[in-house]
Structure 1
Amino acid sequence: MNGAQSSSASPQHGLTDRLARWARGFSGKSEEDSVEEELRPRSGTASNREINRRRQLYGDIGDFLFAHDLDLTPINFSVALDYLTGANIGVEKAIRAVMMERGKITNGWIESIAAEQRADEVTPESLATMLDKVEENLTQFTGLMHESRNSAKDYGAALQEQAKDLGEGRDNEPVLARLVGLTRSMVEKTRQVETQLRDNQRQTQALKSSLENARRAAEHDHLTGLPNRRAFEGVLREEVALAQQNGEMLSVAFCDIDHFKHVNDTHGHDTGDRVLKFVAGLLAKASNDHCHVARHGGEEFVMLFRGKSAAEACEAVDSVREDLATRSLVNRTNGERMERVSFSAGVANVLIYEDPRAALKAADRALYLAKEHGRNRVYLAAETD
C-alpha cells in the first residue's frame, strides 16, 4: 500500500527498448519509417490486430503528452507508456491521484516521480558501491593535491637553478629558452590537474545527490511524505538529549486510525491510501522544531512534543482528533460519502521512564485502552505505568 513494487513493475521495465525506439528520431529516419519499423512483425507472424493495437498505443501516448502539454522527452514518453499500459502500478496510481487533485500533470512532477523511483531502487549493495566511490574520489583528490604541490615545488626549484645562469654580458638565450619550456610544462600540468579536479568535483556532486536520495528514501514514507519509523527513532534520541539538557518536558503520542481495515475492505486500497494521506496532513500541521510527526507503520502515526507536558500534548492531539471527527470524507472513486473517519491515541510522558522505549510502550498501552473503551478518543498513560 506504500508503493512497493513487484519486479514486473520495475521503473526499468522495457526502458532500454523504449529509449532505443526514441533514439530513432535522431537517426535520420522519418517518423513514419520509425513507426513502421517498430510495428513490423519480427517473426513474420504478428496479426493485424496486434499491429493495430501498437498503432493505437502510439496514438494514445501522443494524445496523452499533448493533452498535458508535456515535452517530448524519453522520461515523459516512458511514464506515459507505463501509465497507459499499466506496466508500473506505482506510476499509474500516482498519475491518477494527481489528475484527480489537479486535473493535469507537469514536466516537473514527472521528474520528481522519476527521482523518487530512482531513490526507491537504492539497495545496501548500491550504497556500499557509492561509499566506495566516495572513498576513491577522496583518494584521487588527495593524490592530485599532493601531485600539484610537488609540481609547484619542482617548478620553483628549477626556476631558481636557471636564474643562477642569468647574468650580465652572458648569452642568456639558451637559459630563457629553458625557462620558457619549464613554464609551458608547468602550465600544461596545471591544466591537467584542473581538468581532473573538475571531473572529480562533478562525480562527487553526483554521488552527494545519490546519497541524499538514498537517505531520504531510507527515512521517509513515500505515501504520506512523513518521516518513517527509522527516522523517528533517530529524532527521539536527539530530542531526549535536548530535553534533558534544557530541562524541558517531552511527551509522545501514538495515533491509530479506527477501523482502517473496514475502510480498505469497503472502499478499496486506493481510497485507504487517500485516507492515510489526509490524516497524515492533519497531523503534520502540528509539526515544527518542537513537534515531530512520523508514520510509524500501517495506519499508525507517532508524535513527539518537546516543551509540552503529557496533559498538554494530550490536548494538542485531541484537537486534531476532533477536527478529523467533524470531517465528512467522500470516496472519489464513486462519489459516495464515507463513514466517519476517526483515530484513537495514547500519550505518555517520556522523561519519567528510564528508557524512551518504555515510554513508547506506555503510550501504546494507553492507545490500546482508548480502542477498548470505544475508539475516537485520546487516553493519557498513568504516571505510575
Structure 2
Amino acid sequence: MTGASSSANPQHGLADRLTRWARGLSGKGEAEEEVDETEPQRARAGSSAHREINRRRKLYDEIGNFLFAHDLDLTPLNFGVAHDYLTGAQIGVEKAIRAVLAERGTISNGLVEEIVAEQRADEVTPEALSTMLAKVEENLSEFTGLMTESRNSAKDYGAALQEEVKGLAARADNEPVLARLVALTRSMVEKTRQVEGQLRQNEKQTHALRSSLANARRAAEHDHLTGLPNRRAFEGTLREEVALAQKEGQQLAVAFCDIDHFKVINDTHGHDTGDRVLKFVAGLLAKASNDQCHVARHGGEEFVMLFRGKTAAEACEAVDRVRQDLATRSLVNRTNGERMERVSFSAGVSNVLAYDDPRAALKAADRALYLAKEHGRNRVYLAAEVD
C-alpha cells in the first residue's frame, strides 16, 4: 500500500528522476554501488563512493521535494536556486528565499527570477566589461605601435646619420653632405613632432578611459540609493580584512542589521518613504565607519558591518548603540507630514576568526539575526549566545 502511494506521488517521481540524473552525473549505475566485501581495499573505496552517492541522492531528493512543494518548474535556474538555498552555498539566495517563505509561505517561478536578478543587480554587465576591455586593448595596441614607430624612426635616423658622417669624413667638398644632414635632421624632427602629437592625443584618451573605468568600478561596488558599498564590495573587503586581522593578530567581528517590518513601512507609506528610511538608517550606520569599521548594504533592507580590532561582544555593543539611537528617533512621512511608527532594526553578530571559513561566520551572524527577529525584534544578538 505504501509503495503504491509513493509511486503515484509526483513528488517522489520527480525526486527519483533527479536521483537517477545524479547517478548519471557520477558515472555509476545502481549495480556499481554494491561493495565486494571480499576485497577490503575495494570495499573501503566502494563504501566511500556509496556514501557520496547517498549524499548526492539525499540532496537531489531534497531539491526535488522543494521544487514540487512550491510547484516550481524543473529548470536550471530553479534547480540552482533550490540547491543554493538548501546547501547554503549562497547566503544571499538563502536569506532571500527564507524571507519570502516567512512572508508568503511559498515561492513562485517569478519570485525565483526576481531573487536571482537582485543577486546579480550589482554585477557589471558582460557587455560593459567587453566594451571597456576592448578600449583598453585598443589604446595599448596604439601605444605599442607608436613606441615601435618612434624606436624605428630613431634607429633609422641614427643609421642614416652614421652613414652621412662616414661620407663627411671621406669627402673634400662637405656642403652636399651637410645639406643632406640638415634635411635628414628636419625630417626626423618633423616625424618626432607627429609622434609626440599622437602620444598627447592618446594620453588624453587613456585619461578619459581611466576615468570611465574608475566610474564603472564605483558603480559596480556602491549602492546607488544609500551611497554605501554594496555586497560585492563588502565581499572583497571581508577577504582583505580577514588577511589583515590574521597578520596583525587582531580581532574581527561581523554584524548583520535588518530593518524591522520594512515591508509594512513600504506598504503603509510607499516606496519613496521606504527609500528615505533606508538612506536614514544607512547614514546612522555609516557614522561608525572608519578604516577599521566597514559598513555596506548587503541587499534589500539589510546592512552588514565589519569591525577589525573589536571582539564580537564589543562589536555587539557598538551595533546596539546605533540600534538605540534609531529606536529613539521619531521619523516623519514627508509625503503627508504624518509621524511614522518607530523604525527599528535587529542585528546578529559573530566572531569571524572563530570559524575556519568567513562564510560560516556570516551564517552564524545571520542565524543570530534570525533569532533576534524571532524573539521580538529591535535587539542585537551575539552568535556565541545562541549557537
- Structure 2 length-normalised TM: 0.66
Question: How many angstroms apart in 2 are the aligned matches of 1:272 and 1:129?
Answer: 35
Question: How many angstroms apart in 2 are the aligned matches of 1:248 and 1:265?
Answer: 43
Native 8 Å contact 1:352 1:383 kept in 2: no
Q: 1:279-318 residue pairs with structure 2 within 5 A? A: 279-318=281-320
Following superposition, the deviation at residue 189 of structure 1 comes to: 1.0
Runs (4 or more) in structure 1 with deviation over 4 Å come to none
Following superposition, the deviation at residue 162 of structure 1 comes to: 1.2
Gaps of 5+ in 1: 1-119
Match of 1:173 among 152, 172, 175: 175
Question: How many angstroms apart in 2 are the aligned matches of 1:324 and 1:154?
Answer: 74
Question: How many angstroms apart in 2 are the aligned matches of 1:334 and 1:384?
Answer: 42
Q: Which residue of 2 aligns with 1:361?
A: 363
SS of equivalent to 2:384:
coil
Following superposition, the deviation at residue 154 of structure 1 comes to: 1.7
Following superposition, the deviation at residue 210 of structure 1 comes to: 1.4
Match of 2:232 among 219, 230, 235: 230
Native 8 Å contact 1:254 1:300 kept in 2: yes
Question: How many angstroms apart in 2 are the aligned matches of 1:169 and 1:216?
Answer: 67
Native 8 Å contact 1:291 1:306 kept in 2: yes
Q: Which residue of 2 aligns with 1:340?
A: 342
Question: How many angstroms apart in 1 are the aligned matches of 2:209 and 2:265?
Answer: 42
Native 8 Å contact 2:257 2:303 kept in 1: yes
Tell me which moved more, 314-323 or 176-185: 176-185
Q: Which residue of 2 aligns with 1:274?
A: 276
Native 8 Å contact 1:127 1:211 kept in 2: no
Following superposition, the deviation at residue 373 of structure 1 comes to: 1.1
Question: How many angstroms apart in 1 are the aligned matches of 2:240 and 2:303?
Answer: 19
Q: Which residue of 2 aligns with 1:131?
A: 133
User: What is the percentage of aligned positions where both structures have the same residue?
Assistant: 86
SS of equivalent to 2:258:
strand
Tell me which moved more, 185-194 or 139-148: 139-148
Q: 1:216-255 residue pairs with structure 2 within 5 A? A: 216-255=218-257
Following superposition, the deviation at residue 337 of structure 1 comes to: 0.8
Q: Which residue of 1 aligns with 2:211?
A: 209
Query: Larger helix proportion, structure 1 or 2?
Result: 2
Q: Which residue of 2 aligns with 1:382?
A: 384
SS of equivalent to 1:379:
strand
Native 8 Å contact 2:347 2:381 kept in 1: yes
SS of equivalent to 2:305:
strand
Question: How many angstroms apart in 2 are the aligned matches of 1:279 and 1:169?
Answer: 88
Match of 2:354 among 345, 352, 364: 352
Q: Are 1:319 and 2:308 an aligned pair?
A: no
SS of equivalent to 1:224:
coil
Gaps of 5+ in 2: 1-121
What CA deviation, in whole Å up to 9, does each residue of 1:119-147 have, x standing for no partner?
Answer: x9963212212112211211221221122
SS of equivalent to 2:378:
coil
What CA deviation, in whole Å up to 9, does each residue of 1:43-65 have, x standing for no partner?
Answer: xxxxxxxxxxxxxxxxxxxxxxx
SS of equivalent to 1:276:
helix
Q: Which residue of 1 aligns with 2:146?
A: 144
SS of equivalent to 1:253:
strand
Q: Are 1:182 and 2:207 an aligned pair?
A: no
Distance 1:206 1:169, change over 3 A: closer
Following superposition, the deviation at residue 292 of structure 1 comes to: 0.4
What CA deviation, in whole Å up to 9, does each residue of 1:74-96 have, x standing for no partner?
Answer: xxxxxxxxxxxxxxxxxxxxxxx
Q: 1:24-35 residue pairs with structure 2 within 5 A? A: none
Native 8 Å contact 2:123 2:220 kept in 1: no
The aligned amino acid for 1:344 is S
SS of equivalent to 2:282:
helix
Q: Which residue of 1 aligns with 2:25?
A: none
Q: Are 1:259 and 2:261 an aligned pair?
A: yes
Following superposition, the deviation at residue 171 of structure 1 comes to: 2.0
The aligned amino acid for 1:220 is H
Q: 1:32-181 residue pairs with structure 2 within 5 A? A: 123-167=125-169, 170-181=172-183
Q: Are 1:198 and 2:207 an aligned pair?
A: no
The higher relative CO (CA closer than 8 Å, separation ≥ 6) is in 1
Following superposition, the deviation at residue 164 of structure 1 comes to: 2.5
What CA deviation, in whole Å up to 9, does each residue of 1:168-204 have, x standing for no partner?
Answer: 9822221111011101110111011112111211221
Question: How many angstroms apart in 2 are the aligned matches of 1:168 and 1:382?
Answer: 93
SS of equivalent to 1:165:
helix
Tell me which moved more, 262-271 or 149-158: 149-158
Following superposition, the deviation at residue 383 of structure 1 comes to: 6.7
- Structure 1 length-normalised TM: 0.67
What CA deviation, in whole Å up to 9, does each residue of 1:263-303 have, x standing for no partner?
Answer: 11111100000000000000000011100000000000000
Question: How many angstroms apart in 2 are the aligned matches of 1:352 and 1:169?
Answer: 87
Native 8 Å contact 1:226 1:280 kept in 2: yes
Q: Which residue of 2 aligns with 1:44?
A: none
Question: How many angstroms apart in 2 are the aligned matches of 1:157 and 1:231?
Answer: 55
Distance 1:169 1:298, change over 3 A: closer
Q: Quick check: which has more Rg, 1 or 2?
A: 2
Distance 1:324 1:235, change over 3 A: same
